């Protein structure tokens, strides 16, 4: 990948700048930041998910900075204008494993001259990184806010697990055997075909992203999530097709079937086309494989033994959860939302589901997100 200049200021809110930080765990990391002019401010680290960028935080960076924080949002490994990662499907997959993503965050904090952050705030897959960061280094990550993706705790040691009464269901075979055959999106994202399916899709990357963001937002009226009873094919198949896909459709075909009308696009105040073009411009250049490597590590259980070292550990720093009321993310793994609150986080300050927001909560309802974050941050840092 060719190094580019930082994201141009014309697409950023006033008070936000883009720049690079060199030598972060092998990366040249691109970041957005605000509140940088005043020295000595406590640091907030904002971690995006898929298919997003540091730019996904543009609507909350300034309110957080105005509250007295130095706010930093990087393009994470595999994304945007951050370089130094391997974009090859057959390349260095282990560099995308969870603890190395936490190492990226640690390296960035150190490169910025800080010993710790007041809080790490993550959305979607970025919430997984934030949760693991708070679990393994609570001395550095002093508080954590998770958005859209609950954290149910580290994997158990298989040596201590009780013997199964019956063989576990092969969820993929069971999904494929349904009357309307289905497949799980994370395992689709782990295939070699997923990146070209999206990067070279017939409708083009811009229209693909428009459909994807719409389909998972509160603008798609069928997003009415509810708890699922179990990790079974019949239960999972109750979720929308962006999570449990039709077996013979690509993701590009899946979202094309729910493409918003021209009038709906024009009415989308939370993601107008002049903002969506920032995403589509970056993904046309990079493709999607960098972000898809994260899914491959999860579905392929890449170095799971590293994570099992922390079996039984909890997140013991102040924690907060925020998601959209129309977001299936908190419900996609049955029981995780409840376990996060009852067991995985010992200082849970609340789990909030915001009306009028789907999966892209900090973009769809940024004022409400900031209104929940700021009292939490004041309590956690007071």
pLDDT tens track for 33-71: 999 999 999 999 999 999 999 999 999 999 999 999 999
Strand ranges for 212-311 from DSSP E? 244-246
What is the enclosing helix (H) or strand (E) of 196? helix 194-199
| Residue 227, burial from CB neighbour count under 10 angstroms (0-12, 13-18, 19+) | exposed
Q: Is 226 a residue whose pLDDT tops 90?
A: yes
**253-294 tens-digit pLDDT:** 999 999 999 999 999 999 999 999 999 999 999 999 999 999
Contacts of 207 (CB under 8 A, 6+ apart): 256, 259
Q: Is 382 a residue whose pLDDT tops 80?
A: no
Rg (the chain; Cα; Å): 20
Q: Answer yes or no: 359 catalytic.
A: yes
Token pair for residue 300?
Answer: 């392929």
Q: Answer yes or no: 86 catalytic.
A: no
Token pair for residue 198?
Answer: 């999206």
Catalytic residue among 48, 104, 123, 124: 124
CA distance 87 to 288: 9
Token pair for residue 173?
Answer: 């075979």
- Reported residue count of the chain is 382
Please list the residue range(s) of the chain that carry CATH number 3.40.50.1820. 11-155+304-381
**143-202 tens-digit pLDDT:** 999 999 999 999 999 887 777 666 667 999 999 999 999 999 999 999 999 999 999 999
Q: Enumerate helices (H) and strands (E) in the chain, giving the number of each.
A: 16, 10
**CATH match for 11-155+304-381 among 3.40.50.10790, 3.30.2090.10, 1.20.1250.20, 3.40.50.1820:** 3.40.50.1820
Catalytic residue among 30, 123, 184, 359: 359
CA 148 vs. chain centroid, Å, equals 8
pLDDT of residue 169: 72
Please provide residue 256's backbone torsions phi and psi, each rounded to the nearest 5 degrees. -60, -30
Instruction: Provide DSSP, 22-37.
Output: EEETTEEEEEEEES-S
CA distance 280 to 273: 10
Helices (H), 82-170: 98-111, 125-136
CA 35 vs. chain centroid, Å, equals 24
């Amino acid at each position: 990948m060719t190094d580019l200049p930082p994201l141009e200021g014309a697409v950023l809110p006033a008070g936000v700048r883009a720049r690079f930080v060199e030598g972060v765990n092998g990366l040249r990391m691109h970041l957005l930041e605000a509140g940088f002019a005043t020295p000595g401010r406590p640091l907030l680290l904002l971690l995006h998910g898929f298919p997003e960028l540091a730019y996904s935080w543009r609507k909350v960076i300034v309110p957080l900075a105005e509250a007295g924080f130095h706010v930093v949002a990087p393009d994470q490994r595999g994304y945007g204008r951050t370089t130094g990662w391997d974009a090859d499907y057959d390349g260095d997959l282990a560099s995308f494993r969870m603890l190395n993503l936490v190492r990226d965050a640690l390296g960035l904090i150190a490169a910025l001259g800080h010993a710790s952050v007041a809080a790490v705030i993550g959305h979607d897959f970025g919430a997984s990184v934030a949760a693991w960061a708070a679990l393994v280094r609570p001395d550095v990550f002093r508080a954590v806010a998770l958005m859209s993706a609950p954290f149910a705790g580290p994997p158990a040691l298989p040596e201590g697990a009780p013997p199964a009464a019956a063989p576990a269901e092969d969820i993929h075979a069971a999904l494929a055997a349904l009357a309307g055959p289905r497949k799980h999106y994370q395992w689709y994202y782990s295939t070699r075909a997923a990146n070209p399916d999206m990067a070279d899709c017939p409708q083009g990357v811009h229209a693909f992203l428009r459909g994807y963001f719409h389909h998972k937002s509160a603008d798609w009226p069928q997003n009415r999530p509810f708890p699922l009873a179990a990790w079974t094919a019949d239960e999972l198949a109750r979720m929308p097709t962006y999570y449990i896909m039709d077996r013979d459709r690509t993701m590009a075909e899946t979202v094309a079937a729910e493409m918003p009308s021209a009038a709906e696009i024009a009415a989308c105040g939370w993601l107008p086309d002049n903002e969506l073009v920032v995403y589509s411009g970056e993904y046309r250049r990079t493709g999607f494989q960098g972000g898809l490597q994260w899914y491959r590590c999860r579905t392929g259980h890449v170095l799971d033994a590293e994570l099992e070292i922390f079996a039984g550990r909890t997140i013991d720093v102040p924690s907060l959860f925020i998601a959209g009321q129309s977001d299936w993310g908190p419900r996609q793994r049955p029981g995780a939302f409840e376990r996060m609150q009852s067991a995985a986080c010992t200082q849970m300050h609340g789990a909030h589901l915001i009306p009028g927001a789907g999966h892209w909560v900090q973009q769809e309802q940024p004022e409400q997100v900031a209104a929940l974050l700021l009292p939490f941050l004041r309590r956690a840092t007071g």
